[in-house]
Amino acid sequence: MRVVGLPILAALLLLALPPVAAQDVGGPSWEMGWVTDVDPKYVVDLEEDWDLTGELVYYVTNDGPAELNLDLTYDYDEDGPFSFDGPDSISVPGNGNETFRITVTGGSAEEVRSFSPSSSIELLVVGEEKVGDSTLRSQDIEADVAVPRMFRLVPEIIPPTNELFAGSWVEFTLEVSNLGNTQDAITSGEAIVRSCPHLAVGDLEQLTDVVVAVTAPDGKNKMAFTLKLEASSSHQERTCEVSISVASEGDGAQRSATFNVNVVAPSVDNSPVDGEGDDDDDFTTGDDNSMPWSGSAETLVILLVTWVYLRRR
């Protein structure tokens, strides 16, 4: 019984040993990771025309002696403004390390602008090592992708409909649109008048510390301000150039709008006023009254000459 028991005990011990061969079925290890800094998120580049570009770089390290072949898939919310384009499959030589690129592009300008910069889209990259149709081993990496904040306050002027006369004022409208993708504020407003030193813009204090929400695509929520053009009474008749600028709190930029306005001066009447004609008549009459005096002087001269002549005789 003891002889029979020993083989049985040995068999039981062999079964209890860990399956070393089974551990090696998966083959040598490999690893995926990001080269691009995605912590806490990756922010794409954005132009003023809402053209969106970006690039994500990842690496694959192959620790085995044989070539590694991976199938890749990219999982993300397609309702967002981003499109991702990368290789469907890659190969990494034995004991090698390779990097691969994923390009990021955007949809229409309206889609990109409507995406809040405080939101992000998660990109999941899955690499699968396969044998036939079976997946031997897989890894995945992920990154949150976002757009930067864009600030763009744009002023627009609606010129006055009434004529501006010297010594008077007219009202005009300044509209400010927020064509960025986040809330902004007007820190200050400034007016520059060219060629007309006697023309001023009033009520600019309205353009101080005013919050401006993102303008809707239909533009119905633009900010509107009523300002004044004031011409002094000494203003000459002239065409004046007026520029109004607003400063953005978001990016500190100043953007302006310009328009021309005609100042009408009162016409000058050169016709004589009442009484001026009578003064002229009096002046003429005075000249006429001096004529008798001239005649008396001539008479005295004649008498004197006659007296001298008679005395000599």
User: pLDDT tens digits for 205-258?
Assistant: 999 999 999 999 888 899 999 999 999 999 999 999 999 999 999 999 999 999
Q: At a CB cut-off of 8 Å and minimum separation 6, what does 243 contact?
A: 191, 192, 193, 194, 256, 257, 258
Task: Assess whether 142 and 192 both reside in one domain.
Answer: no
pLDDT digits (tens, 9 = 90+) for 119-169: 999 999 999 998 878 889 999 999 999 999 999 999 999 999 999 999 999
Per-residue HEC secondary structure of 213-232 comes to CCCCCCCCCCEEEEEEEEEC
Query: Comparing 302 with 213, which gets the higher pLDDT?
Result: 213
Judge whether residue 9 has pLDDT over 60.
no
Task: Assess whether 167 and 258 both reside in one domain.
Answer: yes
Domain membership of residue 19 (yes or no) is no
254 strand-pairing partners: 247
Average pLDDT estimate for 100-120: 95
Task: Answer with the one of 93, 121, 146 that is the final residue of a domain.
Answer: 146
Judge whether residue 2 has pLDDT over 70.
no
Task: Assess whether 128 and 45 both reside in one domain.
Answer: yes
- Alpha helix (H) residue ranges in the chain: 2-16, 20-23, 109-114, 276-289, 291-312
Cα–Cα dist 45/148, whole Å:
7
| Domain containing residue 228: CATH number | 2.60.40.10
Domain membership of residue 53 (yes or no) is yes
State CA 221 to chain mean position distance. 17
Task: Assess whether 106 and 171 both reside in one domain.
Answer: no
In this prediction, residue 134 carries a pLDDT of 86
* Domain total in the chain: 2
Task: Assess whether 69 and 133 both reside in one domain.
Answer: yes
Do residues 220 and 123 make contact, with C-beta atoms less than 8 angstroms apart? no
Record the tokens describing residue 131, joined without a space.
Answer: 């044998």
Judge whether residue 5 has pLDDT over 70.
no
Hey, how many other C-beta atoms are within 10 angstroms of the C-beta on 25? 9
DSSP state of 207: G
Task: Assess whether 76 and 131 both reside in one domain.
Answer: yes
Cα–Cα dist 195/240, whole Å:
6
In this prediction, residue 135 carries a pLDDT of 87
In this prediction, residue 28 carries a pLDDT of 77
**pTM recorded for the entire structure:** 0.70
- Which amino acid is located at 51 in the chain? D
| Burial class, 1, CB count within 10 angstroms (exposed 0-12 / middle 13-18 / buried 19+) | exposed
In this prediction, residue 301 carries a pLDDT of 59
Domain that holds residue 36: 27-146
pLDDT digits (tens, 9 = 90+) for 19-76: 433 333 456 799 999 999 999 999 999 999 999 999 999 999 999 999 999 999 999 9
| Domain containing residue 118: CATH number | 2.60.40.2310
